[in-house]
Amino acid sequence: MNRTVVLGGGEAGLIAAAYLERASETNVVVVSERERHVFSFQLYRVIKGMPFDGATLDLRDAFADRNVTVVRDHVRWLDAAEKRVDLRSGSIEYDTLLIALGGVTRLDAFDRSRVSDVRTDAREIQHAVHSGSVRDVVIVGGGPVGVETVATLASLTIDLDVSLITSGEHLLADFPERAGRIAEGELGRRGVDIRTGTRATEATDDGVMLDGERVERSNLTVWAGGVEPNPVIENFDLPRKEHGLLVDEYLRCRDADSAYAVGDVVDYPGKVTDGIRRGWKPDEPRRTCCGTSGNGRRKSTTSGGIRESSTSVGPPPCSRRTGSSTAERGRRFCEPSPPGATRSSGTTCTDRV
């Protein structure tokens, strides 16, 4: 049976892996750097007070009764010509690849240590606002994340002065103008100070510099300035643009028959705007950014996948998976090569929780 490798166990990777396992004759391997997936849309509830764990899903539990193998490792580069992915602890070969490595927060010139990011710091924001030490909160960014964060903070019973800064003329600039107007009206009613057409240029010790000339006081500055594709794709031998990997209407990567990409790592029409500004007309059917991978050509390999120092191990990704439950299989991770072993020949498999 051939092997489909899914890079990334986030929103897109998880859904795709589940569908692939059910729908096709292929071994599905998910490579994820994290043990748990964080549901981004639940992070506002974390800010409100929900325990962080409630917003996460253990990948092993998710696939406990599925024939999906989870490899915990960090993707470093891709050789699409050789159908091989280089991981921190070795390499894995595939017949079909789905790249679902997501995006990262675009920080512009902001000092990361002076701003909070809902994507990664929801717990810290929760603690800060509930500790009573915070009074003035500034959110930078008038897109969906900025607007939802502000709405969340403004709905707390805690006494906060909440400001929203955006360089756009309206909130939700990537959506139809009406949506922005509704958001502005609603947030204004909740006491949020909205500054459109204003550029936040720097985070200072006690506030945010606006338009390079005046400081808005802030005890907590939340950055919601947008997303850019995962920079690891710069190490992939696949065509890409500023907004991500280039794919066709089947999500197939350009110039690579057996590699597909999905989610925030992809450059697709409408990613940055609502689609209208980047060329869509509203009555045209939208191409989805979520889908499944097809089967690629079977490439015969001697290793059958993850390589060990002297011999290959067959079917993915660990030679000792036979007879174990899928939950147990999910616990098998690949350990780094022993010192001195060459990178491409050095993965050993072991059980690790």
Ligand X SMILES: Cc1cc2nc3c(=O)[nH]c(=O)nc-3n(C[C@H](O)[C@H](O)[C@H](O)COP(=O)(O)OP(=O)(O)OC[C@H]3O[C@@H](n4cnc5c(N)ncnc54)[C@H](O)[C@@H]3O)c2cc1C
In angstroms, how far is the first alpha carbon of the chain from the final one?
28
Report the site for ligand X in 256-275 (rule: CB under 6 A): 263-265
Binding mask 99-138 for ligand X (x = CB under 6 A): -xxx---------------xx-------------------
119 vs 331 by CB, closer to ligand X: 119
The answer to whether 8 contacts ligand X (rule: CB under 6 A) is yes
20, 75, 164, 222: which one binds ligand X (CB under 6 A): 75
Instruction: Report if residue 91 touches ligand X, rule: CB under 6 A.
Output: no
Asked if residue 90 binds ligand X (CB under 6 A), the reply is: no
In the complex with ligand X, which residue's Cβ is closer, 26 or 116? 116
Query: Residue 97: beta bridge partners?
Result: 5, 259
Q: How far is the CB of 326 from ligand X (least distance, A)?
A: 19
Single-letter amino acid, residue 81: A
| Residue among 40 and 201 whose Cβ is closer to ligand X | 40
Q: With both helix axes pointing from N to C terminus, report the angle between 177-189 and 144-154 in degrees, rounded to the nearest 10.
A: 20
Cβ 211 to ligand X shortest distance, Å: 26
Point out which span in 33-41, 150-158, 306-314, 331-339 binds ligand X (CB under 6 A): 33-41
Phi-psi region of 125 (alpha: psi -120 to 50; beta: other; left: phi over 0): alpha
Determine the residue with CB nearest ligand X: 10
Near ligand X in 187-246, by CB under 6 A:
230, 232
Which span sits near ligand X by CB under 6 A: 31-39, 47-55, 236-244, 333-341? 31-39
Per rule CB under 6 A, count of chain residues that contact ligand X = 27
For 65, phi and psi rounded to 5 degrees? -110, 25
- The two counts, helices (H) then strands (E), for the chain are 7, 24
SS3 string of 287-328?
CCCCCCCCCCCCCCCCCCCCECCCCECCCCCCCCCCCCCHHH
Angle between helices 118-130 and 144-154 (to 10 degrees): 20
Q: Where are the alpha helices (DSSP H) in the chain?
A: 11-23, 43-48, 59-62, 118-130, 144-154, 177-189, 326-330
Nearer to ligand X, 41 or 250 (CB): 41
Interaction site with ligand X (CB under 6 A): 8-13, 31-34, 37, 40-41, 43, 74-75, 100-102, 118-119, 145, 230, 232, 263-265
